[in-house]
Amino acid sequence: MNPFKKTGKSVSIFITAGYPEKESLTGQILFLQKQGIDFLEIGIPFSDPMADGPVIQETSAVALKNGMNLDRVFEQLSEIKEHITIPLVIMSYLNPILQFGVDLFLEKCESAGISGLIIPDLSFELVQKKYRHSFGSGKIPLIYLITPSTSDTRITQIVEASSNSFVYLVGQNKITGSSYSLSEHANRYSELKELCDEVPLFLGFGISSSEQKKAAFGFADGVIVGTAYLRAISEENDKEFIEKLLS
């Protein structure tokens, strides 16, 4: 059963573990779950987040300064495991996972009930070539990123490997938080959705309002909101932001 597949549309939030405080993660998960968010993406802070824009980079830097690391992430998740009712996805670059130990990382993810992994610098091809028996084992599904310029052939291969997860559509070839017009690639987005068939397609990077969310719902199964939510946290209006986003 695919935990990300539902009848209606989905809204996901990206949070940086350890931001704004080292112990913020558990409270944020329970708050967002209560607000009706469909699943959460937990970002592991890293010193060189190449796909992330300035806001997420800053939250990552703060989290690292706070002393956040994978050990503490798993400890915090274990504290509230029995209260979590929505899927959790971990987003991490490859380096922190290698430092932690791939096998141990996957064991901890399985114990914490993690439903999927996003590793931006671990390509589909590299998994097939080098990590088939670890990340490609299927125990914790890998979630792959595509863009409007990704070839149909590659998308079809990714879809075949994503029956228990979803395909993450990066709306444009830019870093997170960059603004752009959804209508610019509307036709291509629709083609991508058709290629994904029964596998959910979620749009991320740059979604910041209820209006953009509704526009994305025209061709995607859901949206992932990161930068805008982290900005709302810094301005202490995260509850108001979520209420508007879900309206």
Question: Which residues belong to the active site?
Answer: 41, 52
Q: Which 3 state secondary structure label does DSSP give 88?
A: strand
Helix axes 227-234, 54-65, angle to 10 degrees: 60
Closest CA to 3 of 158, 138, 121, 114: 114
Tokens 């859901």 sit at which residue? 222
What is the SS3 assignment for 111-144? HHCCCEEECCCCCHHHHHHHCCCCHHHCCCCECC
User: CA 220 to CA 190: how far, in whole Å?
Assistant: 8
Q: Which residues have C-beta within 8 Å of that of residue 100, sequence separation ≥ 6?
A: 70, 71
